[in-house]
Structure 1
């Protein structure tokens, strides 16, 4: 019996034609056999995290419950995100906040977590990627640092460039290989 690995992909950008959304979809479309990418690109539907709302199980917003269920059902998590003002986008940070609860038992607890993406700067989003890994780790995820791909989106189209695609595919393969080794 073949094991299928499900990867929840959190898209940090809310723009409809975001390069990072396109990267996530391209990764999904060429995922290796036995790997399914669930692209979670509706993070803008989440209200800002509020523990007062989250403390009443009946008041938790449907969008937050759906996010928690999708990530909990995944084997591993991959964030595909740009960098905004030297850090991760607020929408991604907010999603990690929702996924970090209930404390000690959130949907990220024990999940291997990687981050890739592109930003039109010379550093390609590496500060955002480091912040995302740190935040996810504090939320209980297991950060996989050697999956990180911070691609400058200045000189190449990161979705079409073969070198970038190879690096992204290798990052996904590393994240999934780690999952398979633990199974």
Structure 2
């Protein structure tokens, strides 16, 4: 009986959701207005290994076509910090925290270079330090790759939100 009542209320719930003003950001897939704006973003060079990983992740997520002249440029500055935590009595570190922060700006690609979006993103993770140096270095590298993926997702979400809000402009 409860299941039947729940099924009877579903159309009312769907009707209420359709009137709430939510619209899919990526409507139209790769040919939608947001995806087309994202494809017009050129990612500037970012220094260091973390920068190389970040630039590749951003280019992959933005889907830049490379065919047309870009209308926007994404400038990213990274701050990568590795901090030792969990110190033993013999002064050896047992735990580390890797923090990756990004300050990013979306600017027009014209000569004026007008700033359209100026924001930051960040993430951190913990790393166990073990007796094997190789294992610790591998864990630090994996942590960096995961943090880059997380930050790239955050940055693209902010740029896509900006693109969605400025569709009519």
The answer to whether TM tops 0.5 is no
Higher relative contact order (CA 8 A, sep 6+): 1
Q: TM-score range by the shorter chain?
A: 0.3 to 0.5
TM-score of the superposed pair, with normalisation by structure 2: 0.41
Which structure shows the bigger proportion of residues in strand conformation? 2
